[in-house]
Amino acid sequence: MKILVCDPVSPQGVALLQKRPEFKVTVLNHKHSEAELLPLVSDVQAIVVRSETKITRKVMEAASELRVVGRAGVGVDNVDVDAATQRGVVVMNTPAGNTISTAELTFSMLMALARKIPQANTSIKAGEWNRKAFQGTELYQKTLGIIGLGRIGTEVAKRAQVFGMKVLAYDPYLALSRSQALQIELAELDEVYQHSDFITVHIPMTSETKGMINASVMAKMKKGVRLVNCARGGIINEKDLAAAIQSGQVAGAALDVYETEPPPSDFALRSMPEVIMTPHLGASTHEAQTNVGIEVAEAIIDYLLNGAVRNAVNVPNLDAKTYALVKPYLHLGEKLGKLVAQLAPKRNERIVITYGGKANSLPSDPITRSVLRGFLENACGKDVNFVNVRSLARSLGLLVEEIKSSEETDFNEWLHVAVQDGNEIVSAGGTFFGARMQPRIVRLYHRPVDIVPEGVLFLLTNKDRPGIVGELGTLMAKHNVNIASMSLNRDKLGGEALTVLNLDSVPPTAVLNAIAKDPDISNVRIVKL
């Protein structure tokens, strides 16, 4: 079997591949364009990349024998995962290899900010001796606000505690029991902003987190706060940060990641002495590069020789025959997970996945993992995959329970997902219609519905009165929003109805404002599946 290593990977990882007699390993010595790659991949079974080489749809189409792409690192932005899935190619990454290196860089940034080390270094090398200009502040007894307590955020918290810092953390997905075990105080975002002397972010880049640290947020912070971003560029609005530093609201910042990498020549923060900048060094240690190289090599070996899948971002660990049987449930399960995640509170203690009818005879683990993948997507971003979803759930203190039910229902096979936080329960159930196994959501909040689990769902509670459906349709049409389908269920004549619309696009704010004025409509929610 042929393996093509496209980017610089640690020699230890390459050696693991080369010492297997079953493999012929080719290592490219410089970056190749898409056109240059096409003739090189025609007969390879595995491709190894870091962040430089792009494995596009064209590359995969040219690689007719390709079985697996291994990414030595966390992100897979340079791999067309959809194209890989369509062609049956497994995409693996190495999410744990750079945890310590990024945590240590973050804490190094904190110390450098506190003591102005880079600025003092530049000054003395220029022949100056200006001690008064570099008076710093101690970390001891200061409050560190951590936004996101995943693997890296937790490691940063441990180091801060050793330095005598008070750790105040925001993570809406972390169970209280888990934070108590870590001896970390959970708080709401505004509390973190108001009480922290230093703030560091460790969250994925999503539509919710892009630009979340902006001018209005910085105005809520302590005057003289210091900010660190070693996570993803764009979480902190860079223009707003420059303005906040100029005004004195923010005393300094340390950045390892940027909205545009490398930053443009006119990047305002570059000229500010209060800002420390490094060129995306989170994983740039010998140990981290060795770890991810070994990890990706071991994963590829295990997959090609034994069929085992580690850290897959697009498929579960299943043989072909079983995969064909459970594939419809994987899709339905992920959609149910996404649905309840967007309807339930962010912090939950328990998720219960119930299998009924014919679903009882199927292996539940891959389906449960699909549900968890959909449910944890907003919390964990790109880190979540079929392999690590259970460990991610445990790290959040989320108890996962599977039930095989013998209860008789109106359906031959069904899947039900319920999320619980205290006494509040949000649930949804699904099944399939017809010989083509078309998925449907048939239960929501314990009420019967008929919803296609795709696209944009518009949910609301309304009084059961004549004309309300027509009013909704007219309002949507006025704002050029097309309704694909509708499900409506009432508890009694003239009582309360649950209405769900499948829309072709997200309704504009004007629609929501108009609906908010109707006293007969409440609990309006938009869910993206």
- Alpha-carbon torsion angle 79, 84, 86, 90, nearest 10: -140
Structure tokens belonging to residue 179: 């934070």
Q: Look up tokens 């997959």; give the residue.
A: 303
Q: In angstroms, rounded to a whole number, what is the distance separating the alpha carbons of residues 40 and 59?
A: 9
CB of 428 closer than 8 Å to CB of 416: yes
Q: How does strand 24-27 pair with strand 2-5?
A: parallel
Residues in the chain: 529
How is 230-253 classified by DSSP, letter by letter? -S-TTSB-HHHHHHHHHHTSEEEE
User: Token digits for 195?
Assistant: 């009480």
Cis preceding-peptide flag for 263 (omega within 30 of 0): no
72 neighbors 11 (Cβ within 8 angstroms): no
Active site residue 436: no
Q: Residue 419: name the closest of 243, 207, 108, 175 by CA.
A: 175
Q: From CA 27, how far away is CA 299, in angstroms rounded?
A: 18
Residue 479 known to be catalytic: no
Residue position matching structure tokens 């690590």? 388
Residue of 30, 261, 286, 408 with catalytic role:
261
Residue 232 known to be catalytic: yes
Instruction: Please identify which residue in the block is written with the tokens 């080390």.
Output: 117
Any residues with CB less than 8 A from the CB of 264 and at least 6 apart, and which?
Answer: none
Q: How far apart are CA 283 and CA 105, in angstroms?
A: 9
Helices (H), 172-319: 176-181, 189-195, 215-220, 238-247, 286-306
Query: Dihedral of CA 366/372/376/377: which sign?
Result: positive
Q: Find, among 80, 50, 52, the residue nearest to 66 by Cα.
A: 80
Q: How many CB atoms lie within 10 A of CB 269?
A: 19
For 351-406, the DSSP string reads: EEEEEEEGGGGS-HHHHHHHHHHHHHHHHHGGG--TTTHHHHHHHTT-EEEEEEE-
Q: Match 């899948």 to its residue by tokens.
A: 309
Q: For 49-182, where are the alpha helices, taking DSSP H only?
A: 57-62, 81-86, 99-115, 117-125, 151-162, 176-181
Which residue in the list 280, 350, 447, 490 is annotated as catalytic? 280
Residues annotated as catalytic (active site), given as ranges: 232, 261, 280
